[in-house]
Amino acid sequence: MSARAIATWLSGPVLRAAPEGAFVLREAVLVGEQHLLGEVIRVARDEITIQVYEDTSGLRLGEVVQGTGRLLSVRLGPGILGRIFDGLLRPIAFDPNDTETAWVQPGLHQRAPGRFHFRPSVAIGDALTPGAVLGEVAPEAEPGPERDLAEPGPAGSGPADEAEAAPRLRQRCLLPPDAQPGELIALAAAGEILEDAPVGRVRAADGSEYAIRLAHPWPVRLPRPVAKRLPADEPMLTGQRILDCLFPIARGGTASIPGGFGTGKTVLLETIAKWCDADVIVYVGCGERGNELAGLLAEFLELEDPRSGRPLLERTVVIANTSNMPVAAREASIYTGITVAEYFRDQGLDVALMADSTSRWAEALREVSGRLGELPGEGGYPAYLSSRLADFYERAARVETLAGGQGSVSVMGAVSPPSGDFSEPVTNHTRRYVGGLWALDVRRAQSRFYPAIDPLSSYSNSVQDLARWWHREGCTRWEALRRRFLTLLEAEARLERMARIIGRDAMPAPQRVTLLAAQLVNEAFLRQSAFSAIDRFASPQRQAVMMRLIGRFIEEAEGLLERDVAPEHLAGAPVFRSLIRMGEEIGEGDWERFSALDRELTATAHRLVEEVEAVQTEQARQTEGDANAGRGAA
Amino acid sequence: MYARLSGEDIATRIDGPLLFLQRSVDVGLNEAVEVEDRTGRMRLGRIAALDQDSVTVEMLDATAGLGIAGARVRFFGEPLRFHVGPGLLGRVFNGVGRPLDGGPPVAAQQAFRVDGLPLKPSARQAPSEFLETGVTVIDLMNSLVRGQKLPLFSGGGLPHDRIAVDIACNARLPGAQRGGEQRAAQRVERGPAQGTGHGPDHGAERDDDFAIVFAGIGIPHGSAEFFRSRLEQSGALARTVLFLNLASDPSAQRLLTPRFALTAAEYLAFSEGKHVLVILTDLTNYCEALREVSASRGEVPSRKGYPGYMYSDLATLYERAGRIRGRPGSVTQLPILTMPNDDITHPIPDLTGYITEGQLVLDRALHRRDLYPPIKVLPSLSRLMKDGTGAGLTDPDHPALAAQLYAAYAQAQQTRMLASVVGEDGLTEQDRRYLAFGERFETEVVAQTGRRTLAQSMEAGWRALRGLPQHALTRLSNQQIQTHLAAADASDNADASDDAEAAADNQAPADGEDVDADARMSSGMGSGTGVYKGADQGAAAQSPDRGRGHE
């Protein structure tokens, strides 16, 4: 450990130093008196090159670079849940009593260890393998000193008071995956323990002993090992109809959200973070707006997790590296995020990771690469952009953990293509590695149609696998209806163009039916307000019911067409408006109102047929001899 | 750190904006230097790189005329700082913080790094308080919220200078606000601000809680004079700090101008507790300077020759807008940029749009029709509007009215397209009503001749909606239609509504300040929209209290 080097060359965030002792590539180092965090990115016999993750202003030649003997790592422990960190998992919480802490100051700050309640599930003498579970960890009732994401002052103790009321997420203490297997020779009793205090000792096969703590370090660029990968055949439900029903993502799957500015990438990611059925959310704000993250923090503190009734923030880890924070740390933040996600996955939890935005990460890669004088590739990005993207997305998986449980990491990454042009390198390379694409459409966004996902250019590769799940859950027609919706939308796009020229009213009735049905699919099903208290979340049951009802409407409309009822009659009926507004009006579990809507639809269809028939008979009687006259009037 | 080291005859090479020195003293990265040439002229610089033998200095002034022999270099021993103090308001500075108005230097109380430090996201207060600019399209349709950054995308020849000055003259905090007690409590804790001449605080927000920081970046001499004289005439200069970097000043200084301006804004906001509106014009000049300096450093260029780090660099400016939890004061930004060739996908507006919270877009067609301000409503967006408007914030009906106007105008635009294909005769009665609405909206809501309070803007909005069939107003509740539209719609007569306004005028005392402002503005502005002037003045005479019904 503790090799030293002396700085000999400085330029921006890159420095070179003359080493005294051995450094390894990607080793974390501390630079200067302020202990700025850096990483070794090149090693030569008499010179090492270091990328510093913080503002280097004031750094001088001759400053000491201290090696840590470890690859750039983050400290993973139960205390990271519910907190906010920078791109290197250092706390950036704000102490409201000291507003001078409002700015990010350079220099190393470690997370203060939290206190937790530990309950062992193993016994002394047990043989442990890496990744084995030692026991359960529950947060202590008392808020730690850093519980300051909560509102300032006495209000901060609010969430803690309710701690007994609802169960909080149980975490597990693991033997680190890189530890040696061995025999447990000491174990703490059940009770409170600090994160960095030993909970047990293990004697390895070679006789060496080491202590186990609740928290352990892990190198961010190294995927954590698993027993095996499992097929992704279970959906990660987002509560968003257009995603769950048209372009679903599986647990352990990946999806990319490309969209120009103002198309709602961030709102969509935040909405998924709020309502998806993962156990833990890792939200990486990578080079985006500070005010948005402030809003997210405030909102997550207020909103309740629909499953546990606890504040959403308690199941969330926020990794914030806003656009004005040091660029090099932005490059690391993506890896930090996925490492944190893997840590929770290894405890047998389902984790969803949101990265907003991977384009900013790629730009950080480009910037650092430029400073190193590397040969630029497409769009100025380094040639290894594609393989780095692959590295990142490949870490998403549903797995059997080393301890034998099941866990998953699902990854959703926003992409911000310059000028909304999807042919640029980051969008293009991302497309090759993700299982789903949720393409955001400027036109939909500008007409305030949210989520502005374009159904014609989006896709999901896991539809076949997930159709079985929907079938098992009782929605047997999921796949058929999904296909029906998509073909309708495709037909609509074609007909819309014609309608714009000749006007809707001049089109033949079958095409008007198509347009009407597509309108219903769009307005009633795909549009879903993230800010509506009723409609912001839709359970699979509610989605299935709505899907079936719209399917029924399509059938009725087509049936009426054969009976010579013009689609405008149906569109004018009150039931059509009720159908369009059903997402807004009918909440979860209100199945009776959905059934009533179904009955009203049938009744309306009957009534319309009767009306038309009445008119026809009337006309047939009046103009004997010309049987076809009535048809035109309908 | 104030011990200033200096060295003579240590310069070895000058290469464009870069000056190379022998490494004779121990200096740190990013620290400021001052170089004095033989004639005694001073130039500012910044240490960009260090190695064993040499120091690379990036000069922030033109290097023409600088020689190796006789150059005297003074090292500041710290990064560039701006010395700020209570006397900042009413002053005019150049792009690097030196007084331009002949006055003495500011009595420095604090010295802040011009680069600033990033604000922790957890320390930010989510913006939620409305800031009134006096421009209807902004206040009513794309509300600016304190702590927001909302850029104005303009183009060559469009009147962004005039809009900038109008907003600087007219913007204000919309009357007494909520949370008075909380503010008063915070004030007591805030030591330094006690000496800034605030009178007793009654919890209400006052006009002197508001300040403008106006930075002209690389602007022509004529524009600079225009800004200065207009601010002086209107009296707004007293609450303004003006930074002027002229087009003829060295381009490297343009990189510093917004940083000095934002440092001043942060001091006013977070040390003096004011709500500060920062107007930066023109960011395109800033980006051009960035490209120029980057090219001279020999960096690998990205899109259109701009450096790959332009996004991060712009973010270090824009992200300095915001509020801090537990502190009074806010920094709101209104950066103005001219889109090269009116291309919104050009890297400058594109990267800006990815950082800022919305955008306002100017429209050449509206400008050609002499409608002022020519803000194109449909592509304009304020992302934070939903957080800063509505019941308890502005007016309960504000968001619904904005949404309805937006929807109706979008419909009107579609109808215009249809009408250009099939002709106006082929339109239905409803379509023709939408056409008329579109016209009315542009001439009576978008276009304005003087400052409008939010209440006046809303009244203009309601007035424009009359004449549309009520059943088509789907974004409004029946209650809202009943309250604001029903009576007028029955008569559907402009005279009637004017009478109603005259009556309101008699009941409520006219806001003298508003009328003054209106008169001032009218004299300073073209009278191209004279036909509609009457309507505006009618609205201006109304009591401004209507928009503040939330108290």
Query: For chain A, what is the radius of gyration of the CA atoms?
Result: 29
Q: In this complex, do B30 and A103 lie within 8 Å of one another by their Cβ atoms?
A: no
Both ends of chain B: CA-CA distance in Å?
A: 51
Q: In this complex, do B23 and A61 lie within 8 Å of one another by their Cβ atoms?
A: yes
DSSP state of A315: G
Chain B residues whose beta carbon lies within 8 Å of the beta carbon of residue A13: none
Q: In this complex, do A96 and B27 lie within 8 Å of one another by their Cβ atoms?
A: no
Can you state the angle between helices A290-302 and A265-275, rounded to 10 degrees?
20
State whether residue A12 is helix, strand or coil. coil
Mean pLDDT over A609-618 rounds to 88
At residue A163, does pLDDT exceed 60?
Answer: no
Among all residues of chain A, which has the CA nearest to that of B357?
A289
What tokens does B470 get? 């009520």
Q: How many CB pairs under 8 A join A and B?
A: 198
Domain with CATH 1.10.1140.10 in chain A: 478-633
- How far is the alpha carbon of A404 from chain B, nearest alpha carbon, in Å? 37
At residue B68, does pLDDT exceed 90?
Answer: no
Q: Please tell me the total number of residues recorded for chain B in this structure.
A: 551
Among all residues of chain A, which has the CA nearest to that of B411?
A447
A129 touches chain B (CB under 8 A): no
Testing the interface with B: which of A60, A300, A323 to mutate, by most B Cβ within 10 A?
A323
For residue A446, give the nearest of B31, B379, B387 by CB distance: B379
A376 touches chain B (CB under 8 A): yes
Mean pLDDT over A134-158 rounds to 53
What tokens does A389 get? 């993207």
Give the span between the Cα atoms of B46 and B54, in whole angstroms: 14
Q: Which pLDDT score is estimated for B516?
A: 40
Peptide bond between residue B122 and the one before it cis (omega within 30 degrees of 0) = no
Chain A residues whose beta carbon lies within 8 Å of the beta carbon of residue B23: 61
Both ends of chain A: CA-CA distance in Å?
A: 88
What tokens does A629 get? 């006259």
Residue with tokens 């996600």, as numbered in its chain: A341
Give the span between the Cα atoms of A274 and A280, in whole angstroms: 11
Q: Band the pLDDT of A325: cuts 50, 70, 90.
A: confident
For residue A61, give the nearest of B50, B300, B312 by CB distance: B50
User: At the topology level of CATH, where does A4-73 sit?
Assistant: Elongation Factor Tu (Ef-tu); domain 3 (2.40.30)
Q: What is the dihedral of CA A347, A352, A357, A360, to 10 degrees?
A: 20
Q: List, in order, residues 6 or more apart from A487 with CB less than 8 Å away.
A: none
Give the span between the Cα atoms of B526 and A250, in whole angstroms: 61
For residue A9, give the nearest of B51, B78, B351 by CB distance: B51
Q: In this complex, do B326 and A60 lie within 8 Å of one another by their Cβ atoms?
A: no
Q: In this complex, do A366 and B422 lie within 8 Å of one another by their Cβ atoms?
A: no
Q: In this complex, do B302 and A379 lie within 8 Å of one another by their Cβ atoms?
A: yes
Q: List, in order, residues 6 or more apart from A50 with CB less than 8 Å away.
A: A14, A15, A16, A17, A29, A31, A38, A39, A40, A41, A65
Q: Band the pLDDT of A631: cuts 50, 70, 90.
A: low
Domain A115-216 has CATH 2.40.50.100: yes
Give per-residue pLDDT as tens, B217-229.
Answer: 999 999 999 999 9
Chain A residues whose beta carbon lies within 8 Å of the beta carbon of residue B79: 57-58
What is the sign, positive or negative, of the torsion defined by CA atoms of A619, A620, A624, A630?
A: positive
Give the span between the Cα atoms of B533 and B531, in whole angstroms: 6
Residues 301-360 of A with CB under 8 A from B: 318, 320, 322-325, 327, 360
Closest CA to B402 of B360, B353, B465, B452: B465
The type of residue at A160 is A
Give the span between the Cα atoms of A399 and A394, in whole angstroms: 12
A101 touches chain B (CB under 8 A): yes
- More confident call, B384 vs B536: B384
Helix (H) or strand (E) holding A193: strand A191-194
Q: In this complex, do A101 and B123 lie within 8 Å of one another by their Cβ atoms?
A: yes
- More confident call, A513 vs B493: A513
Give per-residue pLDDT as tens, B111-159.
Answer: 999 988 889 888 999 899 999 999 999 999 999 999 999 999 999 999 9
- How far is the alpha carbon of B524 from chain A, nearest alpha carbon, in Å? 35
Give the span between the Cα atoms of B354 and A153, in whole angstroms: 35
For residue A290, give the nearest of B121, B302, B387 by CB distance: B121
Q: Band the pLDDT of B18: cuts 50, 70, 90.
A: confident
A49 touches chain B (CB under 8 A): no
Chain A residues whose beta carbon lies within 8 Å of the beta carbon of residue B122: 84, 92-94, 148-149, 294, 297, 320
Q: In this complex, do A62 and B26 lie within 8 Å of one another by their Cβ atoms?
A: yes
Q: Which pLDDT score is estimated for A625?
A: 63
Give the span between the Cα atoms of A439 and A255, in whole angstroms: 10
- Tell me the three-class secondary structure of B306-364, residue by residue: CECCHHHHHHHHHCCCECECCCCCEEEEEEEEECHHHCCCCHHHHHHHHHCCEEEEECH
Q: In this complex, do A148 and B122 lie within 8 Å of one another by their Cβ atoms?
A: yes
- More confident call, A539 vs B522: A539
Q: Please tell me the total number of residues recorded for chain A in this structure.
A: 634
Q: Band the pLDDT of B476: cuts 50, 70, 90.
A: confident
**Are B412 and B434 spatial neighbours (Cβ–Cβ below 8 Å)?**
yes
Chain A residues whose beta carbon lies within 8 Å of the beta carbon of residue B127: 291
Among all residues of chain B, which has the CA nearest to that of A424?
B303
The alpha carbon of residue A14 and the mean position of all alpha carbons in its chain are separated, in whole angstroms, by 32
Chain B residues whose beta carbon lies within 8 Å of the beta carbon of residue A298: 126
Q: Which pLDDT score is estimated for B62?
A: 80
State whether residue A184 is helix, strand or coil. strand
Residue with tokens 């200078």, as numbered in its chain: B161
Q: Which of A367-371, B76-80, B152-156 has the lowest mean pLDDT?
A: A367-371
At residue B390, does pLDDT exceed 80?
Answer: yes
Closest CA to A517 of A485, A546, A564: A485
Cα–Cα distances in angstroms (integers) from residue B374 to residues A616, B154, B451, in the given order: 56, 10, 15
Can you state the angle between helices A591-622 and A540-562, rounded to 10 degrees?
10
**Are B72 and B248 spatial neighbours (Cβ–Cβ below 8 Å)?**
no
Pick A230-462's CATH classification: 1.10.730.10, 2.40.440.10, 3.40.190.10, 3.40.50.300.
3.40.50.300
- How far is the alpha carbon of B361 from chain A, nearest alpha carbon, in Å? 13
Domains of chain B: 5-81 (2.40.10.170), 88-104+123-191+204-386 (3.40.50.12240), 398-548 (no CATH)
Residues 417-476 of A with CB under 8 A from B: 418-421, 446-448
Chain A residues whose beta carbon lies within 8 Å of the beta carbon of residue B411: none
Q: In this complex, do A447 and B410 lie within 8 Å of one another by their Cβ atoms?
A: yes
Domain with CATH 2.40.50.100 in chain A: 115-216
Testing the interface with B: which of A103, A261, A270 to mutate, by most B Cβ within 10 A?
A261
Domain with CATH 2.40.30.20 in chain A: 4-73
For residue A323, give the nearest of B122, B311, B383 by CB distance: B311
Q: In this complex, do A418 and B124 lie within 8 Å of one another by their Cβ atoms?
A: no
Q: Which pLDDT score is estimated for B334?
A: 96
State whether residue B128 is helix, strand or coil. coil
Q: Is B353 left (phi over 0), alpha (psi -120 to 50) or beta?
A: alpha
Give the span between the Cα atoms of B548 and B173, in whole angstroms: 12
A591 touches chain B (CB under 8 A): no
At residue A182, does pLDDT exceed 80?
Answer: yes
Chain B residues whose beta carbon lies within 8 Å of the beta carbon of residue A501: 421
Q: In this complex, do B118 and A93 lie within 8 Å of one another by their Cβ atoms?
A: no
Mean pLDDT over B12-20 rounds to 87
Give per-residue pLDDT as tens, B345-360.
Answer: 899 999 999 899 999 9
Q: In this complex, do A84 and B121 lie within 8 Å of one another by their Cβ atoms?
A: yes
Give per-residue pLDDT as tens, A478-509.
Answer: 999 999 999 999 999 999 888 777 777 778 99
Q: In this complex, do B125 and A9 lie within 8 Å of one another by their Cβ atoms?
A: no
User: Which of A338-352, A556-570, B73-87 is modeled with the greatest confidence?
Assistant: A338-352
**Are B297 and A373 spatial neighbours (Cβ–Cβ below 8 Å)?**
no
CATH architecture of A478-633: Orthogonal Bundle (1.10)
Give the span between the Cα atoms of B529 and B521, in whole angstroms: 13
| A3: Cα within 13 Å, side-chain hemisphere | 17
For residue B300, give the nearest of A289, A297, A380 by CB distance: A380
What is the sign, positive or negative, of the torsion defined by CA atoms of A571, A575, A578, A582?
A: negative
Q: In this complex, do B122 and A324 lie within 8 Å of one another by their Cβ atoms?
A: no
Q: Which of A203-212, A303-312, A460-469, B51-60 has the lowest mean pLDDT?
A: A303-312
Q: Which pLDDT score is estimated for B506?
A: 42
What is the sign, positive or negative, of the torsion defined by CA atoms of B402, B408, B410, B413?
A: negative
Q: Band the pLDDT of A626: cuts 50, 70, 90.
A: low
Closest CA to B153 of B313, B350, B448: B350
At residue B244, does pLDDT exceed 80?
Answer: yes
Q: List, in order, residues 6 or more apart from A81 with CB less than 8 Å away.
A: A139, A169, A171, A280, A314, A315, A316, A317
Give the span between the Cα atoms of B66 and A156, in whole angstroms: 60
* Average pLDDT for chain A: 88
The type of residue at B405 is L
Helix (H) or strand (E) holding A182: strand A182-187
At residue A259, does pLDDT exceed 80?
Answer: yes
At residue B406, does pLDDT exceed 50?
Answer: yes
For residue B51, give the nearest of A8, A294, A448 by CB distance: A8
Q: In this complex, do A363 and B308 lie within 8 Å of one another by their Cβ atoms?
A: yes
Among all residues of chain B, which has the CA nearest to that of A324?
B316
- How far is the alpha carbon of A196 from chain B, nearest alpha carbon, in Å? 25
- How far is the alpha carbon of A94 from chain B, nearest alpha carbon, in Å? 5
**Are A40 and A49 spatial neighbours (Cβ–Cβ below 8 Å)?**
yes
Give per-residue pLDDT as tens, B419-462.
Answer: 887 788 878 888 899 999 999 999 999 999 989 999 999 999 99
Closest CA to A454 of A466, A464, A445, A463: A445
Q: Which pLDDT score is estimated for A212?
A: 93
